[in-house]
Structure 1
Amino acid sequence: MEKIEVNTYLLNKPFTTVSQPFGEGVDVYKVKDKMFATLARGKMGKADSNYWWMNLKCDPDEAAILRDIFDAVIPGYHMNKRLWNTIILDGSIPQGEIERMIDNSFLLVVGKMTKAAQKAILQR
């Protein structure tokens, strides 16, 4: 997936906004003010990579499995490495798998919200 496709997919999630609280070059995606993804060129904003890097929240067991399966999935860069993965968008991971990882990150964050917030988000 390319940056534009990823950005569109992320922003199509209900109640999602994007901002740059960490500075220019690092997009932070939030659902109801709770972060579920980041997207930046290279090492989260450093211009030493030709690829976009995306951080996504992940179940700890699944995070480890994904790192074993895909070379382009590494422990979350500048994140809690147990709960976050960095996905290097180098074209080696199928689009459907990237979308599934995004969906899981979104649902993990929504799952920690109040029942009322969950209902409002998931019914949309």
Structure 2
Amino acid sequence: MTPQELRAFCLDFDASTEEFPFGPETSVFKVLGKMFALGTLGATPLTVNLKCDPDDAVRLREEHPAIVPGWHMNKRHWNTVTVAELPAPMVRELVEDSYDLVVAGLPKAQRLRLDRP
């Protein structure tokens, strides 16, 4: 998955935005103001921080060397994923899971405005 594909995928989710609160090189993808993905899209290798269920986070780290505790994040809830070392469908699934976790934590009124099951 290329940086452009990752950006397009993150922005394809309902109500998602890209912001740059940490400078022009770091993309922060949010849904209704809450972050679900963070990464420097111009970096080599391309990595992205994604929210993850704590139990799944541990399992994923054990199974995939390309997934480590979230860099500069709460390591219980965030993973850093090296994109090129995983199949694109898996990266898409991890991004979608991150988005869904953030949406699940939104107030009900906000969740109902989104086009998500």
Give me the TM-score of the superposition, normalised by structure 1: 0.88
Corresponding residue for residue 5 of structure 1? 5
Structure 2 residue ranges without an equivalent (≥5): none
Q: What CA deviation, in whole Å up to 9, does each residue of 1:79-121 have, x standing for no partner?
A: 00000000012x2211111111111100100101111211111
**Aligned structure 1 segments of 4 or more residues deviating by more than 3 angstroms:** none
Percent identity (aligned): 37
RMSD between aligned alpha carbons? Answer: 1.6
1:121 and 2:114 aligned: yes
Q: Pick the aligned partner of 1:87 from 81, 86, 105.
A: 81
Q: How many pairs are equivalent?
A: 117
Structure 1 residue ranges without an equivalent (≥5): none
Q: What CA deviation, in whole Å up to 9, does each residue of 1:8-56 have, x standing for no partner?
A: 0000000011011011211000000000100215xxx8xxx62111000
Give me the TM-score of the superposition, normalised by structure 2: 0.93
1:32-47 correspondence runs (5 A): 32-40=32-40
1:76 and 2:70 aligned: yes
Corresponding residue for residue 16 of structure 1? 16
Q: Secondary structure at the match of 2:114?
A: helix
